Every structure is written in structure tokens, then in C-alpha cells.
Amino acid sequence: MSLRPIIAPSILAADFARLGEEVRAVQAAGADWLHIDVMDGHFVPNITLGPDIVRALKPHATVPMDVHLMIAPVDPFLEAFVEAGADIISVHPESGPHLNRTLKRIRQLGARAGVVFNPSTSPSVIEWMMDEVDLILVMSINPGFGGQSFMHSQLAKIETLRRMIDASGRDIVLEVDGGVTAETARLCVDAGATALVAGTAVFRGGPDAYAANIAALRG
Ligand code: DX5
Ligand code: ZN
């Protein structure tokens, strides 16, 4: 697979009091995307940020904003996130009644559309929708918090989704999120991942460490 995975630092692990600076620092350190975790305290047991923060960060972003929505219902908020500057919007199938409609809507609004797999979500969810997705995101933790341990059980799912993407012949990004470290990054890439989200592993040690942290994830 890709020898140089896309690295998407999750700003959830950044200093929220200095978000603009943090975004500029990880970009200068080599971030390919910015991963933005949106939580509502309902779909997941934590609350983070909304479209206003995405809008405030947009002028600082020189790379795509990869917005991971952990909110339900999700449909009423798609437009607000695209208008705020989201380039990619990923949704959980469990966060709305009609995944196909939601994905079509994201593209219609002008963003790339992603589907997120919880640890318990089966790859079959996407079987009839390969034409509607630009990105598949495999959670290697239960969503809600950064700093959790990587679930090795999800590696087989990454391999299965890799095969499904290859069989489709489509250019779909396969991203992994949760507990990604230099060690687990390698396992994900070997299983077929082409993009890696990392919060703790990028932001630990402060700005002086970001470049080395990102380089370590690339292997
Ligand atoms: C959790 C989020 C993740 C999280 C990853 O629900 O989707 O993006 O920030 O954090 P780490 O890399 O610390 O596991
Ligand atoms: Zn995420």
C-alpha cells in the first residue's frame, strides 16, 4: 500500500486555548490534513466543538479539513459544516436513518463524503454504496475520547475494506482513527490504510516535537 500515508492530526489533542497557533504548527510540521472531531454528548459521551470553530480555523488551514461528525441526528448540520469550510465530512451510519441520502447530500453540498465504522460496525454497511463514498474511516477505538488504546481486532476489518476498495476500482481513502502510534501506524498501513488520524501521538511533547512525531508515524 501507500508508503507515505496521509497524516491527519486530530486537533482534539491540541491546546484549545491556542487552536490557531496549533493548526499552523502541525501544518509546518508536515500534517497533510487536519482532523476535526465533532461530538455532541449524545451520540458519543463527550462534547467538543461545532461549525463556528471550523469557520474560525479555516483561514489558518492550508490543508484539507477532515471533519468527523459524531453527532445525531447528523443531517441537519451538514450544510453548516460545509459552509464553515469542511473539505471532507465523515458520518457514522448509526447517526441517521438513510446513509445513502446523507452521503449524496454531502457531495451535493460540495464536500467529499466519508463513512465511519465503529468497532462493532460491519464492512457490509458500505457494500451497496461504494460509488457514494470518497473516504472510509475505521475506528480503532470506541469514539468519544482521545488517548485510548488501539484495538487490534480492527486490523482484519481494515484488510476487508482494502479488498472491497480494490475490487471497486475506485479511488477511496482508507483512514484509521484511534490509538494510532508509530507502532500501530505500521500495522494499519500494512493492512491497507492510506490515511492515519493521530491526536496524542502528534501533539505530545508540544510544538517542538510535532515534526518528529509526524515523521515517526510515517515510518
Ligand atoms: C475519538 C476521535 C479521535 C481521537 C484520536 O472519538 O475520533 O480522532 O481524537 O485520538 P488519539 O490519537 O489520541 O487516539
Ligand atoms: Zn476522529
CATH number of the domain residue 124 falls in: 3.20.20.70
The predicted structure's pLDDT at residue 126: 97
Instruction: Judge whether 177 counts as a catalytic residue.
Output: yes
Decide if 95 contacts 127 (C-beta within 8 A): no
Assess if residue 56 is contained within a domain.
Answer: yes
- The pLDDT score that the predictor gives to residue 1 is 46
182-190 mean pLDDT: 98
The sign one gets for the Cα dihedral 143, 149, 153, 159 is positive
Is residue 134 annotated as a catalytic residue, yes or no? no
Residue 137 has pLDDT above 80, yes or no: yes
144-182 residue pLDDT tens: 999 999 999 999 999 999 999 999 999 999 999 999 999
Q: Which domain holds residue 66?
A: 6-218
198 in ligand 1 pocket by Cβ < 6 Å?
yes
Which of helix, strand or coil describes residue 205?
coil
Q: Is 143 in the pocket of ligand 1 (CB under 6 A)?
A: yes
Ligand found nearest the CA of 137: 2
Domain contains 73: yes
Question: Is pLDDT above 70 for 2?
Answer: no
32 within a domain of the structure (yes/no): yes
Which residue in 32, 37, 40, 66 is the catalytic one? 37
CB 142 within 8 A of CB 148: yes
Ligand 2 center–CA 204 separation, angstroms:
17
What pTM was computed for the model?
A: 0.98
CA of 37 to the centre of ligand 2 (A): 5
Closest CA to 20 of 59, 48, 52: 59
Is residue 1 included in any domain, yes or no? no
